Every structure is written in C-alpha cells, then in structure tokens.
Structure 1
Amino acid sequence: MNTFSSKSLFFFLPIFNTIWIAFSLTTSYIIAAKFGHITTSVPYLSGIVKYLPEEMFAKIAFTIAAGLDVLTYYSMYKYQKISHPKSSQVCNIIVLILGLLSSLGLLLGTHVSSNISTTVHLVAAFLAFGLEAVYNICHCIRYYRSVMWKDHRYMITARLVLCLITTVPTIMFVVFKQISCPFLKICDYNFITPASPDS
C-alpha cells in the first residue's frame, strides 16, 4: 500500500464508516419501533438484535460495519507506519490490536444477543465500545504529541470531539447506570435487556 492510497483510506474510511453506522442504527431503530419491538428513546445495539425483522438487517449492516472498522484501523496503522517511521512501532501495533478487538466485539455483540448469552453480549459490548474509546484516546494523544497537529488543528479538534462522544456515554453507562438508564430510557430495570415491547 503506497503513501497516497494510505492517506486516501485514512481520510475516507472513518467518514464513510461513521455515516454507515449512523444509517444502520437509525434504520434498525425505525424498523424495531415500527413493529413495537423497542420502546427506548435512543437506538442501541442490544435492543435491535433481538427480534425479526430488524435483527436480520442489523446483523448484515453491523457485520459490514465491523469490516469497515478493520479497514479503518489498518489504514491508520499503515499511515502511521509510513508517515512516521521513527515513532514507536510497538505502540502502533498495540493501538491496532485495540482497534481489531473493538471490531471483534462489535461483530460478536451483533451476532450473540442477550437472548442467547447475556454474559457474552456484555463482554462483546465492552470490547466494542470500551476498547474503541481507548483506541480513540490513544490516537488523540499521538496526534497531539506529533508535529502534524500544529499544521492541522482541525484534525486534533475532530479527534478530541470523537473521543468525547465515545468515552462519555461509556463511562456514564458503566459508572452511573442507575442515572443514565432512566434518564436516556435505554434499558429496563435489569439494566441488561431491552425494555419489553409490552411495557
């Protein structure tokens, strides 16, 4: 992969993947709401992979999203390796592994719903969203410590916003789930399974 193609993937894939995930979540949520399978005020993965027909759409859409994630993380790894050969490649590999584990979590969480195994689904959710948050933080730090951010302030600003978006909901749900669940109406009193369609 040459420098040009790495740069192209570096800029294009994250944008396309963000749009694709937003489209997938929104579409799955609309289908689930139409059939009365979900009563939450915001879309979330656990609530849209439990019942047909939204389950089938979500599995296909988020399998594609996981694949796009892998391409995104790998393109960023290659870009860093080519553009900054003197930087720590061990750190670069560790960040790549975090990203790949996050993709695995997204794939696992999509195909193993809480109906099948609550434990596996929760572990997958931690991998998908928790490690993605760590991945984004690592990238923010790397951009900030490099000279690149001085010439591209919009890039570090965008990364910081992305870090905030991915870390705040994760921390809020894990640490303050008694507050976030009723406030966002994203789960029932078990804090694990989606609110019952009959509730």
Structure 2
Amino acid sequence: MPAPAKTPRNKHGRKPGRGLRPWLLIPKILCFCLLVGSLAALGLLCLRQVLMPESINIDPYPEIVPAQTYLDLTGQIEQLVKYLIIPSATLTIFFGILLLIDAPRIFIKLRWLQIKTLLVIITLPLLHITTRIVYEGYATVLHSNLQQMDLAVSNDLVLAVPLIDTWVADSLDRYLLLLGTISLLGVIALAAIILIGRLKPKLWQNWAKAYPRK
C-alpha cells in the first residue's frame, strides 16, 4: 500500500487562499467594464446623431427637423445615465474601497495605486460635472423651443408632432457633439486607469529598499 502524500508545509507564513479578495475583485471588474461600455454607448449615440443623421432617417440638409427625434434621444440618454452609468460608477467605487481596506497599510504605499486613485478622484467627478452641464444646456434649448411653439407636453408625452428650425437643430447638434466627445474622452481616461491597474508599474519605487523587513 503506497504511503499517503505529504501535505506541503507552509514555510512563508502566507494564509491559504486569498480570502474575500477575488469575490470583490470580480464584481468590481464587471462594474468597471459596464461603466466603460455605457460611456462608449453614450458617446457613439450622441455622435451618430450629429455625424450620421441619415442612419436614423433624417435628411442631412432639411429646412425643418422633427423634434421627436431629439426627444427620443433625450430619453435614451437619460436611461443610459440613470440605469447604467451612475449605478456602475457607484458600485465600482464601492468595491474599490472594500478592496483597499483589505490591506490599507500595504496598498496606500504603492505608488501606482496612488496615481490610479488620483486619476479616479479627478476623472469621475469631472466627467459627471461636464456631462451634466452640457446635457442641461441641450435640454434647455430643446424644451424652450418647444414652449415657444406652444406645444402641450404632459406626463412626458408630446401631444403634437413638433418641428424645429434648422438653427435650433444646429445648436442641439453642437451640444450633442460636445457631450459625445466628453464621453469618449472619459472612456480613454478610464482605459488609462485600467492599464495602470493591470501593469502595476513601479514608477521608480524600490519596495525592498523603501520598506525593508524589520
């Protein structure tokens, strides 16, 4: 009868397994990917309206433009922000904080993590503020134009088929172009954050020299 295999002895004092860290890391990655994908969808949705109007059955050179097209786009933008972008960003921050407090004394000293955290602190609030300002300007121009036309709007349902002038449509398109550009720049910034977290560059930090084992 063969002798039973010996269990390797733990010589380095490391705890078996990784605890809850994988269970926190996986949902954080999924939420972050959802955030990046939602921002990319928002940017492409806005830019398609401006750069490819024929793809949504709009005459590129009209005299008047149906306002319902912009109203539909408003609803799509609000749904993206309310149901995808804000929840995914909130959950990403939540899981990131849980991962940080798993071993804060070690993580807080890592230079790459300091840079990554700083980028997150700058990028997400700046992205939120700029997109909100641009979107509010877009919504103000659209709804003020509808009010000038004395359209009855109640319970988010337009009771007429409004048409807007081309100069109003041009103004709306400029807001959409800016909103789409900001969203795609946010995607690039988040991709840089992903790259830093994946590569974990030392950034001229010698861990063994800076923090010798006592």
Q: Place the TM-score, normalised by the shorter chain, in its bin.
A: 0.3 to 0.5
Query: Which has a greater percent of helix?
Result: 1
Query: Which has a greater percent of strand?
Result: 2
TM-score (norm 2): 0.43
Larger CA Rg, structure 1 vs 2: 2
